[in-house]
Amino acid sequence: MNKGKAMIRALGMMSGTSLDGVDAALIDTDGVRIGGFGRSAYRAYSGNEAGALHNALGQWPGGPGVAEAAAITLASHAGLAAGFAEAQVIGFHGQTLAHDPGGRGTHQAGDGAALAGATGRPVVWDFRSEDVRQGGQGAPLAPFFHWACADWAAGQGLIGRAPVAFLNLGGVGNVTWVDPGAAAPEAPGACLAFDTGPANAPLNDLMRARDLGARDEGGRLAASGQADAGVVAGFLRHPFFDVPPPKSLDRDAFAGLAASVAGLADADAAATLVAALAGAVAAGWRWMPRPPAQVLICGGGRHNAAIMAALAAALPCTVAPVEAAGLDGDMLEAQAFGWLAVRVLRGLPTSGPDTTGAPGPVCGGRISHPRFCSLSDC
C-alpha cells in the first residue's frame, strides 16, 4: 500500500452483540481525517439466524454452533456488501462470540478471506486479535474513530474543540473521552476509552425470554415500570466498576444481572435493567481525565427514551444523541470499521495504551485480497 494521503472509499460492516442485524456504511478517509460519509444499509437477522447466533455465544473456534454462526455471518455480510460496488475496501468486524482477553483471547466468527472472495474486494478483518496478543483488551476499537468524528464535527462547526465523550450503547456499553484538539488519536492524552457495563444485551435478552419481542421499542415497557433499587445497588457493587480503565467486557460478563430481575414483573424488570445501565455509566465518570462538555450517545440505546432519560438524570453534563454533532448514530460503528480498514492498509495504529491497555500503539487487523483487487496499489 502506498503512503499517500488520497481518500479511499471504504465500506465498514458491523454486527454487534445485540444480535439484531448487520450495518454497512461507506466512508471516505485517508486513514486519519474523514473526507465524507456515504450511503448506508441495514440487513436484519431473521429469528432463526438470531437464534443460531445467540446459541453460539460464548463458544470458541470448533465449538457447538460456531460453524453455523460463521456461515450466517459470511452470507449476511456478503449479501449486503453486494449493493456497494463503489467500495474499494471492506472493513469486516465479524460476529463476536467470545471475548476473554486475559485468557483464551477473542473470537469473532466470520472468515475475511472468504468475504474477499465473495465480494471481489480486499477485506480488512480480525481487528482485535493482535491487540490481545500484545497484552491489550482488544476492545473497544471505535475510540480512535471517535477522535476523527470529533475532529470532523469541530471542523464543521457542530461542536467546539473542548473534550467530549462518545457513549456507544450496543449489547455492551463503551465510552470514549476524546480531545478533538489533539494532533492525532494515538497522541498522548487524545483518547481514553473503556467498557462501562452491560447495555442493551440484558434488556433484549429479557424481552426475548419473556416473548415480549426483540427489544423494548422506544423504552415504553421500562418507562412504565419501577426500578428495584436493591438490585441496582447490588449490581453496582461488582468489582469491575472499581477497576481503572482501559477495561473491557464479554457480552455475558454480568449474567447474574438477568437472574436478579427474574422474579420481577416485566415492566419493573425492564426499568431495573435501564437503571443498572445508567448507574454503570455514571460509575465510570470518575475516570474521565477532564469533565466532557457533552456526552454524545450512539448505538441502538439512544432510541430508548427510558435509557436517555436515565442517563440525563445520572450524568453531570449535557446528554444528546450523536446526531446533534451531525453524525449517524445507527451507523457509527460500521463507519468506524471502514475507517479502521484504511488505517490498517496504511500501517497506522488502531488502538493504544489509553484505549485497550496495550503496551504501545497497535496496528491490528489482517488483510485478505480477492483474486483481482480493485485498489491500484493493493
Q: pLDDT digit string (tens) for 272-327?
A: 999 999 999 999 999 999 999 999 999 889 999 999 999 999 999 999 999 999 99
Model confidence at 376, in pLDDT bands (50, 70, 90)? very low
Is pLDDT above 50 for 3? no
Which candidate, 309, 329, 331, 357, places its Cα nearest to that of 167? 329
Sequence-ordered alpha helix ranges (H) in 219-362: 220-223, 229-235, 255-260, 266-283, 305-314, 332-345
Query: 3-class DSSP state for residue 303?
Result: helix
Task: For residue 21, list its beta bridge partners.
Answer: 44
Query: 3-class DSSP state for residue 374?
Result: coil
Residue 106: φ, ψ to 5°: -145, 145
Q: Which tens digits make up the pLDDT trace of 259-286?
A: 999 999 999 999 999 999 999 999 999 9
Q: Count of H helices and E strands in the chain? A: 12, 12
pTM of the model: 0.89
Instruction: Work out the number of other CB atoms within 10 angstroms of the CB of residue 347.
Output: 10
Region at 112 (left for phi over 0; alpha for psi -120 to 50; beta for the rest): alpha
Q: Which tens digits make up the pLDDT trace of 61-114?
A: 999 999 999 999 999 999 999 999 999 999 999 999 999 888 999 999 999 999
SS (H, E, C) 91-148: EEEEEEEEEECCCCEEEEECCHHHHHHHHCCCEEECCCHHHHHCCCCCCCCCHHHHHH
Report the pLDDT value the prediction gives residue 17, as an integer from 0 to 100: 77
Report the pLDDT value the prediction gives residue 107, as an integer from 0 to 100: 95
Is pLDDT above 60 for 4? no
Model confidence at 6, in pLDDT bands (50, 70, 90)? very high
The residues spanned by each domain of the chain are 8-138+331-368, 143-325
Q: What is the mean pLDDT of the chain?
A: 94
Which candidate, 117, 99, 115, places its Cα nearest to that of 107? 99
Is pLDDT above 80 for 222? yes
Q: Which residues contact 376 (CB under 8 A, 6 or more apart)?
A: none
Is pLDDT above 90 for 18? no
- Look-up of cell digits 460478563: 253
Model confidence at 1, in pLDDT bands (50, 70, 90)? very low
The β-bridge relationship of strands 21-29 and 8-15 is antiparallel
Report the pLDDT value the prediction gives residue 372, as an integer from 0 to 100: 52
CATH architecture for residues 8-138+331-368: 2-Layer Sandwich (3.30)
Which candidate, 25, 309, 56, 47, places its Cα nearest to that of 142? 25
Model confidence at 218, in pLDDT bands (50, 70, 90)? very high
Mean pLDDT of 339-350: 97
d(CA 367, CA 129): 13
Is pLDDT above 50 for 374? no
Q: What percent of the chain has pLDDT over 70?
A: 97
The CA angle 28-139-316, to the nearest 5 degrees, is 90
8-138+331-368 matches 143-325 in fold: yes
Is pLDDT above 50 for 195? yes
Burial 80-91 (b: 16+ CB within 10 A, else e): bbeebeebbbbb
Q: Which CATH number is 143-325 given?
A: 3.30.420.40
Is pLDDT above 70 for 226? yes
Q: What percent of the chain has pLDDT over 90?
A: 88
Q: Length of the chain in residues, anyone?
A: 378
Q: Which residues contact 362 (CB under 8 A, 6 or more apart)?
A: 130, 131, 134, 136, 349, 350, 351, 352, 356
Q: Are 307 and 219 in contact (CB under 8 A)?
A: yes
